[in-house]
Amino acid sequence: MPNSQSNQRIAIIGGTGDQGKGLALRWAKAGFDIIVGSRAAERAEDAAKDMKEMLAKAGFPDAAVSGAHNLEAAASSNLVVLTVPFAAQINTLKEIRDKLQPGTVLIDVTVPLEPAVGGKPTRVLGVWAGSAAEQCKEQVPDTVTVVSAFHNVGAEALADLSHEVECDVIVCGDKKDAKESVRPLVAAIPGCRFVDGGLLANSRTVEAMTALLIGINIRYKGHTGIRITGIN
């Protein structure tokens, strides 16, 4: 049954992709009210239906997952997660920026990987703003606070609801209270641990680690994560 601690709505923009789906499944299982966004409302609704069926089979028939156009999803919550590919990041943000509520915390999961320009997923692109997260901040109103998180949590591991996810989640942002709002989302995923990564600029390092992990996964045919040792 849904967890009583978690009834807040989370809007996942680009939630029909693998990463968005994995996060939606985990958070819906934990009891959050999930709205999956897409550029096409019908696609989002179909994805939400599939997720509800998966969750029902896993023993969570009352999980709350719905689908909507990105614009509707962005306007529906003050906790918004952006899970689109890097190539779509700016256009998506331009589309939804006027729908974001003042006070919204926008969690950017974007990684600037080379496939955005036809390259390899094991390499990152240089971003003029410094990182995808800092680029995100430049595209949204000042009333919206951007944090970055969940870059290094694999989509396949998230989608396998029968197993814990072995990964620390490094959360970067310039406002402590905004970072703390992400803590319950991390705690809702069994096996994950919240790690304060400092300022948003540190996203540059965290994003690049994703490419490293992808390369390790390819070589070892695994689903790797990261662990920070020496902290409680």
Residue 232 lies in a domain: no
> Low-confidence residues of the chain, pLDDT below 70?
1-6
Residue 231 lies in a domain: no
Q: What is the pLDDT of residue 133?
A: 98
Dump pLDDT digits (tens) for 122-151.
Answer: 999 999 999 999 999 999 999 999 999 999
Residue 6 confidence (pLDDT) = 52
* 228 in any annotated domain: no
In a domain, 70, yes or no: yes
61 located within any domain:
yes
Q: Indicate whether 123 belongs to any domain.
A: yes
**The pLDDT of residue 232:** 81
Give kind and range of the element (H or E) at residue 155. helix 155-159
- Pick from 150, 198, 193, 195: which is nearest to 175 by CA? 198
Are 22 and 55 within 8 A, CB to CB? no
Instruction: Identify the domain containing residue 196 by its residue range.
Output: 9-220
Amino acid 112: pLDDT: 94
What's the predicted TM-score (pTM) here? 0.94
Is there a domain that residue 107 lies in? yes
pLDDT of residue 3: 44
Angle between helices 132-139 and 86-96 (to 10 degrees): 20
Which tokens belong to 87? Answer: 């190539």
* pLDDT on residue 137: 98
> What is the CATH classification number for the domain harbouring 80?
3.40.50.720
The number of distinct structural domains making up the chain is 1
Say if 75 falls within a structural domain.
yes
Q: What is the pLDDT of residue 115?
A: 87
Three-state secondary-structure class, residue 127: coil
